[in-house]
A and B are shown apart, each in its own frame.
Chain A
Amino acid sequence: MNWRRASIAGLFVIPVLGLFIYGLSHDPHDIPSPLPGKPAPTFALEVFAPGQPPLGRPIGDTVRLAELRGQVVVLNFWASWCLACRDEHVTLSEVARHYADKPVHFVGSLYQDTPNNGRQWIAEMGGQSYPSVQDPHTRTAIDYGLYGVPETFIIGPDGLIAHKITGPASARAVARIVDSLLASGTPGKGAP
């Protein structure tokens, strides 16, 4: 065994492996979004899936961001063809129910999909506690700079985007952000 050669090789190999371990712990797609801290783009979108009481809204109703000023808004973009959306579906419904008596409003926005597919998916996945809206020509998704689904935007009572979650949202992450917004912000007039 030529130990000198072996150690020289090791000297090169180990830092490279270390670099890769570092690299794997960081997501290269996690490019800081310029949106947090900016005013949330407004939208007025039609409900196609009503959700369940007490959070439900009738089909055909229009959800307007402007009317939700003073509340925390959790806007989740999803699609029936999106596998990762399944991972967060139950979680989001439960978190929404948890905040039912607080000034927090959850909205699902269907991305590149048909309302029929969306409704069928919701039924198969065991229902959705909050309403979902359709986004014709993905205008709102474009306004929010959507990169893919799922993405979740949390908008503060002041109408500014507080946080963006890329990929499936976890209950803990959503709750932490919503709680801090409820605690720090002046939650406006509160729930009607």
Chain B
Amino acid sequence: MNGLVGRAALLITLPFIILGIIAVPVAIKRGRRDWIAIAYGSVLANFLLVSAAAAAMIVALVTHDFSVSYVAQVGSRATPLFYTIISLWGALEGSILFWGWVLSLYAVAVVWFNRERPGNLVPYSAMVLLAVSLFFSILLIGPANPFHVVFPVPPDGPGPNPLLQNHILMGIHPPLLYLGYVGMSVPFAFAVGAVLSGEAESNDWIRLTRNWTVASWGFLSAAIIAGMWWSYDVLGWGGYWAWDPVENASFLPWLTATAFLHSAMVQERRSMLRVWNLNLVVGTFALTILGTFLTRSGIISSVHAFTTGTIGYYFLVFIGLVLLTAVAMVAGNSDRLATRGRLDSAASRETIFLLNNLFLTAFMLTVLVGTLFPLVAEAVRGVKVSVGGPFFNRMTLPMIAALLFLMGVGPALPWKVASRADLKEKLLPPLVGAGIMAVIAIVMGIRNFYGFLVFTFVGYSAAANLREYWIGARARRTAHGENWATAVVRLAASNRRRYGGYIAHFGVFFVALGITASSSLRSEREATLKPGDTMSVYGRTVRLKALWGREEKQRSVVGATMEVIDNGTVRATLEPRMNFYPTSQEPVPTPDVRSGVFGDLYLSLVAFRPDGSTATVKAIYEPLLYWIWFGGGVVVLGAIISGWPTTRRRSVVPVVIASSNPARDAA
């Protein structure tokens, strides 16, 4: 029954999508505006039908309907309800269904929020989103159909991949990632819509696109941080980023989207970089499809899957079509869109944004090359290689350091041209911040070159960004007689894009410090302990109190109770565990962490004697690690402040009042 509903919904949505795609050009070419309503109706119908399919899948999962192939593949009667529901995105077919659903949701949102916008940009954008939906619908009735009939019906299933049912973040990271990833389809749709409707020459579409990009970018940033947190909490090695192809796939579009958020400002202010921005928007979308292809087609080794089937070839055709559209669009319009403005001076904010884009693009290409290199090596030389941390770290650290420095210089410089006096006044004071952080780095014991550089540059840029707040707030204080707190809040509210952006910068600074300190000053010990034995790491002493085991419904658990001892008193109790799932040979490690402002104590159970006599424990101390998660939260806060939609009705009156007397009085 569930299978029938799902299959039917996915089949019925196809003609709606096709009708909608045809309706838009017909409506515009023939001047029949009423046909656009048909297209918008198709967008809604597609959303309702894909929602029905997703709902049918969730019902099938919850009721253990093993006649549905996807449920037979990832379901199990012993799996707790929460993990049963979220296994919707735990394997290939379900994740494609979820992709399609998020996309249909975005399409409805785009049409709804822009329904009163004049011109043909929104109808064309709806058409593009429907075209992308068409691709995912074809996948869902073809190679990624989750609703195949399984007969005879199996009594039980294997359950989700053990790694995916061991942590609560499985319920948070993937949806965020999809919201970010799929959300990048919207800027792409606007870009194609702008070119088709002839609006690409105005800068209006860039403003619209930027707001939607900020939203997707915020989701993607949150998703990447949540993914790091997840791997930190579940993999047991105390790390959070391994330059794995799947991680890189999520990071690539983030880099180009970040570049776009900055270069869009140059287009709005100076009408420059119009072709470049088109490239970035289309490139970001292409990278999300490429990332999905890399992680879902089985072309690069990822989580266990035997039957990858033919889905890769479908993706390849789609990537080809996207790139063809991109090339035709950019090459076909580049002469018309060629830049009108030009750089007035090397010392200007535009220049810094250009450099920022250069480094971010180079960063993206480096990660892309590193990710694809194993494939190239096998194709050219027939050897299996893997590209790991050392390559990526060596190649990207200089770019990361440079970007951190630019994050301070950019906000400090004015548009167009900075005079010598400007430069002195703006760029010298933040050196105090650089000095302070350099001293802190040395005191903390950071001895490696890039670690020291990161601390110093973060000090510089944080001081520069803080100073922008301070200058603005000071002006408000003198102008309006506000206290500092009010002045800072109203300042941010007066230009949320700008000051929200600076808050996102601060988030990045926290993340940078957290990563640098936790990786350069990490200290690790491993010991085999009998109950009562102690070990110490980085001056922290831990004692093995007991080793225990218990059976749970879907797994068996072995754990060590460890006490953190400080001056003879027990400060905390940690319980690193190993979870054994019936369908997996390998136990899933479940480390336990005590987080603090200054550092994380991370305990992981590595091995144990079945008779309970000894446990081998890995203890890791990582300074400032928690700052990464905190910084991620700050980045997201910055994105929310910067991207939250402005209310439509703007009152003109208060602005007039605000700019009248107090300022003049003060002057």
Interface residues of A (CB under 8 A from B): 1-3, 5-6, 9-10, 13, 16-17, 19-24, 26-29, 31, 79-84, 112, 117, 120-121, 124-125, 138, 141-142, 146-148, 166-168
Most buried by A among B157, B298, B306: B306
Please state if A6 and B375 are interface contacts (CB–CB under 8 Å): no
The listed residue (A16, A28, A124) touching B152 by CB distance below 8 A is A124
Please state if A28 and B156 are interface contacts (CB–CB under 8 Å): no
Please state if B155 and A167 are interface contacts (CB–CB under 8 Å): no
Please state if B301 and A1 are interface contacts (CB–CB under 8 Å): no
6 closest pairs, A vs B, by CB? A6-B331, A124-B152, A28-B301, A81-B158, A23-B299, A5-B331
Please state if B327 and A6 are interface contacts (CB–CB under 8 Å): yes
The listed residue (A13, A84, A124) touching B327 by CB distance below 8 A is A13
User: Binary interface profile of B, 48-65, with partner A (CB < 8 Å = 1, else 0)?
Assistant: 000000000000000000
Interface residues of B (CB under 8 A from A): 69, 72-73, 76, 150, 152, 154-158, 293, 297-301, 304-307, 312-313, 316, 319-320, 323, 326-328, 330-332, 334-335, 372, 375-376, 378-379, 384, 582-585
Provide the bound-state CA to CA distance between A142 and B587, in Å.
13
The listed residue (B293, B304, B319, B327) touching A147 by CB distance below 8 A is B304
Please state if B328 and A79 are interface contacts (CB–CB under 8 Å): no
Provide the bound-state CA to CA distance between A82 and B150, in Å.
12
CB-CB < 8 A to A125: which residues of B? Answer: 152
Provide the bound-state CA to CA distance between A21 and B76, in Å.
36
Please state if A148 and B316 are interface contacts (CB–CB under 8 Å): no
Please state if B155 and A117 are interface contacts (CB–CB under 8 Å): yes
The listed residue (A1, A17, A121, A167) touching B331 by CB distance below 8 A is A1
Provide the bound-state CA to CA distance between A138 and B293, in Å.
35
Please state if B327 and A81 are interface contacts (CB–CB under 8 Å): no
Q: A24-B299, A83-B150, A148-B304 are in contact. Are A19 and B585 (CB under 8 A)?
A: no
Please state if B312 and A24 are interface contacts (CB–CB under 8 Å): yes
Most buried by A among B298, B582, B585: B585
Please state if A84 and B306 are interface contacts (CB–CB under 8 Å): yes
Q: A19-B379, A28-B299, A29-B301 are in contact. Are A9 and B158 (CB under 8 A)?
A: no
Chain B residue at smallest Cβ distance from A141: B585
Please state if A22 and B316 are interface contacts (CB–CB under 8 Å): no
Instruction: List 25 A–B pairs whose Cβ atoms lie within 8 Å, in order of A's numbering.
Output: A1-B331, A6-B331, A9-B327, A9-B330, A13-B327, A17-B316, A19-B379, A20-B312, A20-B375, A22-B379, A26-B378, A28-B299, A29-B304, A79-B583, A80-B154, A81-B72, A81-B157, A83-B72, A84-B307, A112-B584, A117-B155, A147-B304, A166-B306, A167-B306, A167-B307
Please state if A120 and B155 are interface contacts (CB–CB under 8 Å): yes
CB distance from B366 to the nearest CB of A (A): 16
Provide the bound-state CA to CA distance between A124 and B326, in Å.
52
Provide the bound-state CA to CA distance between A167 and B309, in Å.
12
Chain A residue at smallest Cβ distance from B312: A24
Most buried by A among B156, B299, B316, B328: B299
Chain A residue at smallest Cβ distance from B275: A5
CB-CB < 8 A to B327: which residues of A? Answer: 5-6, 9-10, 13
CB-CB < 8 A to B583: which residues of A? Answer: 79, 81, 112
CB-CB < 8 A to B585: which residues of A? Answer: 138, 141-142, 146
CB distance from A38 to the nearest CB of B (A): 20
Provide the bound-state CA to CA distance between A142 and B586, in Å.
10
Q: A146-B585, A148-B306 are in contact. Are A80 and B331 (CB under 8 A)?
A: no
Provide the bound-state CA to CA distance between A88 and B152, in Å.
15
CB distance from B384 to the nearest CB of A (A): 7
Please state if B299 and A20 are interface contacts (CB–CB under 8 Å): yes
Provide the bound-state CA to CA distance between A186 and B155, in Å.
44
Chain A residue at smallest Cβ distance from B333: A2
